[in-house]
Structure 1
C-alpha cells in the first residue's frame, strides 16, 4: 500500500490502541483520520507516526477520542514531521502543556475546539508556539469552548500578535458584540462568529481600524434582527454571511434591511441572507453593492419585489431566490430584474410560478444565464418564446413541475442549446415529432460535449396510440445519436399495467411485433374541436386534443361552459380500439353518424351545431 494517500480508521469505540508497525510502508500517506475511537493515550499514537515511518503525513485528525490531557512530550516522537494540520476537537481536554506542540514545527492549522481549556492556558500555549518558537499558525479553531458574554480579551490580544489569519469562535455565547470587543487584529482575514447568540453588534465592531484585512465575516445562526446604515464594516470585506438570523415563529417579526444599509460595503462579493424573513425588497435594498457577485435569498419569504430591486447589482453572477412565494403573490415582471445583464446562474426553485408572460419576458433582461433552475414550481407549459433570450443556456432544470408533452419545438426554434436538461417528475405522456426534433437538435451539438437529458419519472403511456408515431419517426428520421439516446434511456412506462415500470425503450423495440390495429381503424373517427375563431379538424387518435378540448370546456376564461366538442362517428368501431376518453365521450355525448348516405341532411345538422357553438 505504498501509494496510499488517505486512510481512515474511525468510529471504533472499542479500539484503544494500535500495534507497533501498523503504518509501516505507507510512505505516501498524506492524511490520517482516527476519529471517534477509544484512544486515551495520544503519546502512544504519536509514536506510530514518526517522520521516518510516515514521511508524507500532513494532516492528522484524532478528534472525539478521550485524551483528557496532553503532556509536554506527547508529540516529541514526531519531531521533524511535515504535519501541518492537527485536529483534536472534542477530546475532553482539560489541560494542554504550553510546550506540547513545539515538536510540530510545520504546524499551520490547529483545531482544538469543544474542549475545556481556559483563556490563560490557551494564551500561554499560543505564546510559547509563536513568540518563543516561531511556529506560525494560520488557522485556529476555538469553537464551542464555553466562552460567555465576550470573547476573552487577553486571549484575543495574544491571537492578535500571532500570524493567525483564520479564527473560529463559533458556538460560544456572545450576546452583544460591542465596538471595543475585539482589539486591533491586523492579520485576521476570516472571522467565524456563527451561532454565538448575538443580538446585535456595534457599528464599528468590525471596522477597518480593528480589522484592516478582514475578508470573510460569518454571522449566521444568530439572533440579529437586521442591518442598518450605521454599520461600518472593514473596507476589505468580501464575504458576509447573515443567514439563519430570522425568527419564523412570529408573523409580526421580519428581518429589517434599512435604506442605504450596504452603502459602505463597496468591495463585497458574496452576501448570504438565506432563511431570514425579509418578505419585501425594494429598489434601495441593495444600493452600494456594485461589485457583488453572489446573492443568496433562499427561503427568505420574499413575496414582494419592487421594480428595479436588483438594478444596483450590475456585476451579479449568481442569484438564489429559491423557496420564496414570488409566483403566488407577485406577478414576476422583467423590470424587477433590470440591471442583471451579467447574471449567469438564476435559481427560482419552488417559487410557486405557474407561468411566464411572453409579452414581458423577464429573461430578456438576463441574456447571459448559463444555469436556470425552475424546479418544483407549478409550470404546465413553457414556450420557445420564453427561452428565446437564453442563447448561452447550458443547464435547464424543470423537474417536479406539471409540464406535459410539448407540441412546438422549445429549443430548435431560436437556437437555444443547453447541454443538461432535467424534465423528470412531470406529466409527459409521450414524444411528439417536435419533441423528437428538439432531442435530435440537442444531441447533434457541434461542440461535442456530452449531453444529459433526464425524462425519468414521467407518465409515459406505452401503447400504440401514444408511441407509434415516435416509433415511426425514429425508424424513418432518427439519427444514430437519437436512436442511441432512446436505446440507453432509463425512463419508464407508467401505463398500461402490462408495461408499467418497464423501460420505454423496450416498448419501442416491441412496437413492430405488436398488432397496432388501431391505426387501421384510424380513419373511422373524426373529432371536430371548435375553438373560435378557428375550426380544427383532427384525425385520431389524438389524445392530447381531446384533453385540451375538455379543459377548454371546463375552464373557459369568461366563465361560460359551452361544449367545444363535436363528435362524428364513421361506421362501426371495435371497442378495443377506443381510448378510455373516447369511450366516455361516446357514452356521455350526442354524436353525429356518417354512413355515406343522406349527405345533405348530415351537413345541415353539422352546420347548425357549429353555428350554435
Structure 2
C-alpha cells in the first residue's frame, strides 16, 4: 500500500526530546480493514504528518485500532542536514517497536541493544538492520509475527518494509510469506495484512524506478565505526582524522563519536560538529583516552549521566563554547576518577545550580582545576558551591562571568582553594574585601588572587589591600585597572607578597618608597608594562627584584615618547635575572646601560625597541645571560655587526635577530665567535644575500638556525660551503629565500645537518641550473631523497610547465643528453655546427621580435627619447660635477603618486611624514602643482625634483591612467639613474628611487607587467589596520625616505 508523507522541520518537531515533549504529528497508514498509526517523533531531519484530512476521515470507526509506536533513541534523533548526495549506512541503532491495543504483549524482561542487534519487544526477538537514505530511515523488517497471531502459538511470519525515499515518498510493503509450505488464502491475507507476490513485485519495481530516479548514481557504504567514509559524504557519519601524534579530531558532520578507537589516540577532539547530545555508551570504545575536547558544538544541548563511565584515565576535559548547553545533570561525570582539570568555558550556564551537582567529589575525587570563564553566572550565593564540600579543588576561574555579587561565605566549602581568578567582573570593593577576609578567617589557603580589570579606579582601595595584606596571598594581579597616580603609602606592609602585576594601570610615575624593602620585603616579580613611565625611574629599581617587566611604556605610534635607559641605573640590581624592555623607544644602548646586571641570566628582551645604535661591548657585563631578544629593530645600514658587539655573552644560548634589516654579515665573518655556547640563532626576515663559510664554524653547540624569509642565493663551490663544520644535530630553516637551484656544494652541506627546510624557494626547473646537480648525484650515487627534509615541499617555481610540480619528479625526468643541455652546458666537437646555427637563429628571432616590438611601442619609444632629452638639457652632456653633494639638488624628498580614491590615506601620510622627525618634504599634486600649468609637464618636473618616488599601489591606482603614466615615469627615472649614474654614494651605494606602498588587495587583471615585476622584485611596505603594525609601518617608511648624512665621491673611471 502506497502512502504519501509531508515533512515538517520546526525545532519542536525535529527535536521533541529537547523539551521533554512528544511530537503530535503522526503518520497514518491506511489498509483495507484496519488503521496503523506510527508515531515517528524524529527520523533524520523529517517529521511525518498525516497525509491529508481525507485520509483521516477515511478511517473506519468500527475497526479495531492497532497502534505500533517506533521510538528512536535520542542520540539518533538528530537533525540531519539535507544533502544533494546520497549515502547509505548499515549501522543499526537501538530501535524498539512495541505493540498495543487489544493484543497481549509477552516480553517478560527488558532487552538491551548489543552491537548491531536491535531488540523488538514482540513475542519473538528479531534483529532489525537499518539504512539511512538522505536523512530518512529504512527498516526492512523480517520474520515479524503479525498481531493477529499473537498468543495463538501459530507461526505466520510476514516481511513488512517501511521505505522512505528522498523527502516526500514513503512506501509500506507487506510481502506474502509461506508458512509450513502453505500459501495463505485471500482471507488470511486480508487479516494478516499480507500482499500477493504479483503486487509485491509491482511495488518493488516502482520502488526501483523511484530509487534510480531520485538516488542518483549509487549508494556508498559506511563502516560501523564511521571514521572512514568512501565516496560521498554522510550526515550520519563522523569524519575523524589524526591531526597530530596521538590526537584525533572529529568535526563538521559528526553526530556521534566513532564506535571504534585506535588505542594510540590519547586525545579526542569533537569540534564544530552537529552533535546534539552525548548518551551512555557513545564513548565506550574510547576508554584509553587521557584528554577530551568538546568545543564549539552549536547544537549540543544535553550530556546524559554516565556518558563518561569507565574513562578513568582522562585527566583533562574541556566542554567549552557550546552556547546551547545550559544544564549538566548529576552523574554526568561519573567514571572520570582521574580528572584533574575541567574546562566549562563559554557555555550557557546562568546559575551554579544548573551544573554544580555534577562536580561533586563523589564523581570527581581528584579535581584540582575548574575553569568557568565567560558563563553568565552573575551571582554566587552562599549555598551555590555546597555540592563541592570535600573537594580537592585548588584553582577556580570565574573570569568574565558577569559577576555582580559573591557571598563572602560562598567559597568556604573549598578548603583547598589556592588560586582565585575574578578578572573582568564588576565587583564592589567592600564585597571583595569581605570575601578575602572571610577566606582568611576560615583558613582557606588562598595564595593567588587575580583581579584583572574589575573596575577599580583613581587609587588603590585601602580596605581591599589591607584584607590582602592580612592574608597569605603571594601572587596578586591588579592589571588593567586605573591607578594613574601612585604615591608612597599606597600599599600597606605586605610581607607575604612575591608577585605583583600592575600592567596597564595608566601609571605615569613610580615614586620611591611605594614598594621598598619595608613594604614588600619578599617581592621578587614586578610587572609594570603598558604604562607611561618616561624611562628607568629609581623608585622601580628594587634591589631584591628577580624579574622586572617594563615593556610598552613609550605609548603607541601616534603618541610615542622616548624611553630613557640612562647609564648605570641597574648598578644595585644584583638579584635581577629577567628584564623586559621591549616595545619602548630606546634608540641607543651604551656600554654602561646594563652595568651591574652580573646575575641577569634568564632573559633580556629588547624586541622592537627602535634601536639605532649599539656601542661595542654594551653586553660585556652580562656574562651569565642565556636569552637575548633583539628582534624587529631596524638597524640602519651603517651599524656593523661585529664580534665586539657580543663580547662577554659567553653563556648565551638563544639569540634572536629576526626582522632587523641586516643586509650582510660578511664584514666580520667571526661575528658570532664570542657565543661559544649558542644553541639557537634567529636571523629570519632580514636582507641577507650570501653567507660566509666561517659564519657558523665557531658555534659548535648550535642546534638550530632560522634563515627563512631572506634573499639568500645558491652557493656553488666547495670553498663556499656554509655548514661544513657545524654540529650534526643542527636544524636549518631556509624557507622563502631566493634559491633557484640546489648545487652539489649545497647538497653536501645539507647532508651534514639533522634537518633542512627549503619550502617557498623559487626553484627554476631548467637544465641550465640542475645539469651539474643531476650529474653529481649520479656520480655520487645519491638522490634528493637523501636530504632530511619534507620532499613534498620542494617544488618547481618556473617554467610554467613545471610550476608547483615536485622538484624530485623534474630531476628524475631530466635527460642529460637533451640537446639544449649538451649545447649550453656540455658542448663537444660533434656539436660545432649546432653551436653556429643555433645562435644565428636565436639572433634572427630576437631582431625580428625587436622590430615588431619597436613598431608596436613606437609612441613609448618617442616618449623615452623625450625624457632623455629633458635629462640631457637639465644636466648637460658631461658627467655630474665632482663637488655635487648628497641630495641638495632636490626640492622634495619624495613625489607621491596616488589615486584620488586614496586621498584620505595620503592626507594622513603627509601629516605623519612632514610633521614628525625627520620632517620630510613631500610633493603632492593637489598642493604643490602650480595653478594653470600643464599637468603632464608639472608631473615631469616634480618627478625630476624629487629624490624618491612613493607609489601608493591600490586597486584604484592600477585602474587610473594618470597613475599608470606616473608609474612609467618612475620606472624611467629608475632606469636613467641605473644607466647613467657614475657616482657612488659613500654610505649606501646607488639608491633605488622607487618606494612601493601597497594599500589593500589589488586585482591581478588590472596590473601591468611592469607593476607585477616591481611587486615581485622589490621589498614593499603594506598598510595594516592593526595599530602595532601601523607603528612599524610609519617607522620603516620614515627610515626609507630619510636622507642620510653622506658624502659623494667619484667612482672608478676607465
Instruction: State the 1:484 CA deviation.
Output: 5.7
Instruction: State the 1:203 CA deviation.
Output: 1.9
Following the alignment from structure 2 to structure 1, what is the Cα–Cα distance between the partners of residues 598 and 841?
A: 65
Contact 2:771 2:821 in 1 (8 A): no
Q: Deviations over 1:194-221 (max 9, x none)?
A: 1111111112222222222212111111
- Determine whether 1:454 maps to 2:757: yes
Partner-residue secondary structure (3-state), 2:749: helix
Query: Following superposition of structure 1 onto structure 2, how do residues 22-41 of structure 1 map, counting pairs within 5 Å?
Result: 22-41=332-351
Following the alignment from structure 1 to structure 2, what is the Cα–Cα distance between the partners of residues 476 and 324?
A: 46
Following the alignment from structure 2 to structure 1, what is the Cα–Cα distance between the partners of residues 560 and 361?
A: 61
- Determine whether 1:101 maps to 2:411: yes
How has the CA–CA distance of structure 1 residues 140 and 283 changed in structure 2, closer, same or farther, with 3 Å as cutoff?
Answer: same
Contact 1:518 1:577 in 2 (8 A): no
How has the CA–CA distance of structure 1 residues 573 and 363 changed in structure 2, closer, same or farther, with 3 Å as cutoff?
Answer: farther
Instruction: State the 1:91 CA deviation.
Output: 1.6
Partner-residue secondary structure (3-state), 2:808: helix
User: 776, 795, 812: which one pairs with 1:509?
Assistant: 812
Query: Following superposition of structure 1 onto structure 2, how do residues 382-397 of structure 1 map, counting pairs within 5 Å?
Result: 382-397=691-706
- Determine whether 1:574 maps to 2:838: yes
Q: Deviations over 1:374-396 (max 9, x none)?
A: 11111110111222222221111
Instruction: State the 1:418 CA deviation.
Output: 5.4
Aligned counterpart, 1:84: 394
Aligned counterpart, 2:732: 421
- Determine whether 1:311 maps to 2:620: yes
How has the CA–CA distance of structure 1 residues 307 and 586 changed in structure 2, closer, same or farther, with 3 Å as cutoff?
Answer: farther
Give the stretch that moved more between structures: 359-368 or 185-194.
359-368
Following the alignment from structure 1 to structure 2, what is the Cα–Cα distance between the partners of residues 17 and 140?
A: 28
- Determine whether 1:134 maps to 2:436: no
- Determine whether 1:437 maps to 2:748: yes
How has the CA–CA distance of structure 1 residues 248 and 73 changed in structure 2, closer, same or farther, with 3 Å as cutoff?
Answer: closer
- Determine whether 1:265 maps to 2:573: yes
Partner-residue secondary structure (3-state), 1:177: coil
User: 584, 588, 591: which one pairs with 1:283?
Assistant: 591
Contact 1:524 1:570 in 2 (8 A): no
Contact 1:391 1:417 in 2 (8 A): no
Partner-residue secondary structure (3-state), 2:625: coil
How has the CA–CA distance of structure 1 residues 220 and 585 changed in structure 2, closer, same or farther, with 3 Å as cutoff?
Answer: farther
Contact 2:360 2:388 in 1 (8 A): yes
Aligned counterpart, 1:240: 548
How has the CA–CA distance of structure 1 residues 215 and 584 changed in structure 2, closer, same or farther, with 3 Å as cutoff?
Answer: farther
Aligned counterpart, 2:778: 475
Contact 2:640 2:667 in 1 (8 A): no
Q: How many equivalent pairs are there?
A: 537
Give the stretch that moved more between structures: 29-38 or 135-144.
29-38
Instruction: State the 1:248 CA deviation.
Output: 4.5
User: 494, 502, 509: which one pairs with 1:193?
Assistant: 502
Contact 2:687 2:711 in 1 (8 A): yes
Aligned counterpart, 1:405: 714
Instruction: State the 1:356 CA deviation.
Output: 1.5
Instruction: State the 1:426 CA deviation.
Output: 0.7
Following the alignment from structure 1 to structure 2, what is the Cα–Cα distance between the partners of residues 482 and 585?
A: 44
How has the CA–CA distance of structure 1 residues 438 and 72 changed in structure 2, closer, same or farther, with 3 Å as cutoff?
Answer: same
Contact 1:143 1:171 in 2 (8 A): yes
Following the alignment from structure 2 to structure 1, what is the Cα–Cα distance between the partners of residues 376 and 560?
A: 47
Q: Deviations over 1:270-313 (max 9, x none)?
A: 11111001111111111111111211100000001112211121
How has the CA–CA distance of structure 1 residues 252 and 47 changed in structure 2, closer, same or farther, with 3 Å as cutoff?
Answer: closer
Contact 1:211 1:234 in 2 (8 A): no
Following the alignment from structure 2 to structure 1, what is the Cα–Cα distance between the partners of residues 317 and 837?
A: 71
How has the CA–CA distance of structure 1 residues 251 and 136 changed in structure 2, closer, same or farther, with 3 Å as cutoff?
Answer: closer
Q: Deviations over 1:370-420 (max 9, x none)?
A: 111111111110111222222221111111111000124434544455521
Aligned counterpart, 1:50: 360
**Structure of higher CA gyration radius:** 2
How has the CA–CA distance of structure 1 residues 83 and 487 changed in structure 2, closer, same or farther, with 3 Å as cutoff?
Answer: closer
Partner-residue secondary structure (3-state), 1:257: coil
How has the CA–CA distance of structure 1 residues 88 and 318 changed in structure 2, closer, same or farther, with 3 Å as cutoff?
Answer: same
Aligned counterpart, 2:821: 519
Instruction: State the 1:508 CA deviation.
Output: 1.6
Instruction: State the 1:587 CA deviation.
Output: 10
How has the CA–CA distance of structure 1 residues 112 and 248 changed in structure 2, closer, same or farther, with 3 Å as cutoff?
Answer: closer
Following the alignment from structure 2 to structure 1, what is the Cα–Cα distance between the partners of residues 508 and 840?
A: 71
Following the alignment from structure 2 to structure 1, what is the Cα–Cα distance between the partners of residues 670 and 721?
A: 15
Aligned counterpart, 2:893: none
User: 636, 649, 669: which one pairs with 1:340?
Assistant: 649
- Determine whether 1:16 maps to 2:319: no
Q: Deviations over 1:103-124 (max 9, x none)?
A: 1111111111222222221122
- Determine whether 1:381 maps to 2:717: no
Contact 2:346 2:374 in 1 (8 A): yes
Instruction: State the 1:332 CA deviation.
Output: 2.4
How has the CA–CA distance of structure 1 residues 310 and 498 changed in structure 2, closer, same or farther, with 3 Å as cutoff?
Answer: same
TM-score (normalised: structure 1)? 0.82
Following the alignment from structure 1 to structure 2, what is the Cα–Cα distance between the partners of residues 410 and 418?
A: 17
- Determine whether 1:466 maps to 2:763: no
Contact 1:21 1:48 in 2 (8 A): yes
Following the alignment from structure 1 to structure 2, what is the Cα–Cα distance between the partners of residues 312 and 486?
A: 40
Aligned counterpart, 1:532: none
Following the alignment from structure 1 to structure 2, what is the Cα–Cα distance between the partners of residues 585 and 398?
A: 43
Partner-residue secondary structure (3-state), 1:226: coil
Following the alignment from structure 1 to structure 2, what is the Cα–Cα distance between the partners of residues 585 and 248?
A: 58
Gaps of 5+ in 1: 443-450, 527-538, 540-567, 589-611
Gaps of 5+ in 2: 1-307, 851-1052
Instruction: State the 1:24 CA deviation.
Output: 2.1
